[in-house]
Structure 1
Amino acid sequence: MKKILLSAALLMSLISCNKEENSATQETASLSHRGCASHEVLQEQMRQNPELAIKMNEIESFTERAIQEGRLVNGKIQIPVVVNVLYRTTAENISQAQIQSQIDALNKDFNALNSDFSKVPSTFSGVKANVGVSFVLDAVYRKSTTKTSWGTADAMKKSTQGGMNPTSPTTKLNLWVCTIGGGILGYAQFPGGSSSTDGVVIDSKYFGTTGTATYPYNLGRTATHEIGHWMNLRHIWGDATCGNDQVSDTPLHNAANYGVPAYPHYSTCTGTPIEMTMNYMDYTDDRGMYMFSNGQKSRMLAIFATGGARNSFAQP
């Protein structure tokens, strides 16, 4: 059973890790493997603001108590989504249809309506989850730019740096769609960060299921993965060899998995469990990920509960 509460040692290790290069170099980086910068962005935010580590630990303590005491939000949560499109080329100025296809994909994935949900192996059938969170497109804003790529330093979220400020970030999920560069498909801000940069960034080539959405990341799962982070989920391998994702019903993973691993894929961690490679918080191709676990569901719903970091999204 994995601990849910982040230890002080874990927080210190997050802070002390080498910071990610935030420039948009390596434009030709291979995308044969999924690249998510959420963990590295969190490390950098905590390096710049050590008080964030304290706040993150408080969120973890609240999450543990809320789950243990069953103080999770009741009923369905509907999240308004604002999409901010930053484009230099016609291809980057993605269509309304492509944007809607992403909203549709999120609603399927977070409500166990995805057609591949039935592929979850029997080993994990007892923990596969219907999260019960839905998304509705609230607004689309577009801005022409001369930038070829934006990197992961949140420039796209700031009008002073040529980007677009978030709209009502305490009650609306802001998605920025742009060319990130550096082989990064997307990244999210975890609960606890500044509202001025809150939201999720997705590269336009991996957004939605039509238009410019590019195989093997053309089923909208990059946004599903990143919004999982936005709802306080960690990578399933805990960003360390046999690491801790703070969820009790996900198996220990050696590291990230890529492509579409053959089932069963065994871990060499303690107990050699079968890895849940089809979980949205792994690094597999879009067609290789199609489930959240009940433990992940509880963790996500805890942030919307009274006193939770995203409780404002649960208000009528």
Structure 2
Amino acid sequence: MKKLFITAVTALVLFSCQNDQTTSSSEPDAVVARRGCATQEVFEEQLKADPMLAIRMNEIETFTNNRILTNRLVNGKIEIPVIVNVLYKTAAENISDSQIQSQIDVLNADFNALNSDYNSVPALFSGVKANVGITFVLEKINRKSTTKTSWGTRDAMKKTKQGGLDPTSPTTKLNLWACTIGGGILGYAQFPGGSSATDGVVIDSKYFGLSGSGSYPYNLGRTATHEVGHWMNLRHIWGDTTCGSDLVSDTPTHNEANYGVPAYPHYSTCSGTPVEMTMNYMDYTDDRGMYMFSVGQKSRIAAIFTSGGPRAGFAQ
């Protein structure tokens, strides 16, 4: 079983591990060959800027583990209102309402085990595949024309004074930003515990939803599923280091990130872990290669919405 508790000191060490983020190009409009999620890198920069963040994250970790251990989880479903902020210079970046709705539909399918590939989960993992039971409702779309060709990962798109759009009521609404990120990055999220002024998820407009400009192999809306998983306190399944821990007990330890669509079974050399759960949403596989959360991940998610949790405002 993985060690689930971390101290304030080890939090800083654990969360400073580097991801393998190899992509095909750093050009803003390039289609990437391998998934690139900048959540961990952004988090490391936030740690440098705010030393107290490591302490807050450790407090959240302690709270999460206590809730999981005592089974004091959310009763019923959480319904999350979503604000989508579209920043565009080109017509392609100004994604349509239907494309935006298709992304909400994907989130609802993936977080409620309604995705068509859910039944493709191998028998080995069928006992831990989970219906997270969280729904998403599109509340508003904000659009803004800009002169920027790419936004990077320093949260400029989340700040009106820097040409972006400030988040709307981030303690009670999930803000998504659709824009060109650049650098081969598909998206990134902010973990619970960060500043409310930058809270939410950023998705490159080329990988937002199912239709329009969606680019294969990231054209099934799973970038948002992965990033919203981070927003709900899930880590990368390989723990951002070789044979690392994602702080979840029922996900196998992975050697490292997996790309493409690995043939099953995909074996690990990590101690006590013969087969990796490559189809988990928190790996780096192509959209068609990821289609499940685990029961342990569901419990970890549910804990943050309980009274006193970092996202309790969404459960009221």
TM-score of Structure 1 vs Structure 2, range by shorter chain: over 0.9
SS at match of 1:98: helix
Q: Is the 8 A contact 1:175 1:202 kept in 2?
A: yes
Which residue of 2 is the match for residue 248 of structure 1? 249
Which residue of 2 is the match for residue 27 of structure 1? 27
Which residue of 1 is the match for residue 97 of structure 2? 96
Taking the aligned partners of 1:130 and 1:137, their CA distance within structure 2 comes to 21
TM normalised by structure 2 equals 0.96
- In structure 1, the gaps of 5 or more residues are none
How big is the shift at 1:271?
2.0
How big is the shift at 1:3?
1.6
Which residue of 1 is the match for residue 171 of structure 2? 170
Which residue of 1 is the match for residue 238 of structure 2? 237
Q: Is the 8 A contact 2:104 2:137 kept in 1?
A: yes
Taking the aligned partners of 2:31 and 2:10, their CA distance within structure 1 comes to 31
Identical aligned residues as a percent: 73
- Poorly superposed stretches of 4+, deviation over 3 Å: 7-10, 14-20
SS at match of 2:82: strand
How big is the shift at 1:90?
0.2
Which residue of 1 is the match for residue 2 of structure 2? 2
SS at match of 2:296: helix
Q: Is the 8 A contact 1:6 1:246 kept in 2?
A: no
Q: Deviations over 1:192-226 (max 9, x none)?
A: 00101000000000000111111100111000000
Q: Deviations over 1:116-151 (max 9, x none)?
A: 000000000000000000000000000000100000
Q: Deviations over 1:68-93 (max 9, x none)?
A: 00111111000000000000000000
Alignment RMSD? 1.7
Correspondence list, 1:131-210, <5 A: 131-210=132-211
Taking the aligned partners of 2:293 and 2:216, their CA distance within structure 1 comes to 22
Counterpart code for 2:256: A
SS at match of 1:242: coil
SS at match of 2:274: coil
Which residue of 2 is the match for residue 37 of structure 1? 38
How big is the shift at 1:6?
2.2
Taking the aligned partners of 2:89 and 2:6, their CA distance within structure 1 comes to 41
Taking the aligned partners of 2:2 and 2:19, their CA distance within structure 1 comes to 27
SS at match of 1:174: strand
Taking the aligned partners of 2:134 and 2:53, their CA distance within structure 1 comes to 27
Question: Number of residue pairs matched?
Answer: 312
- In structure 2, the gaps of 5 or more residues are none
Q: Is the 8 A contact 1:81 1:135 kept in 2?
A: yes
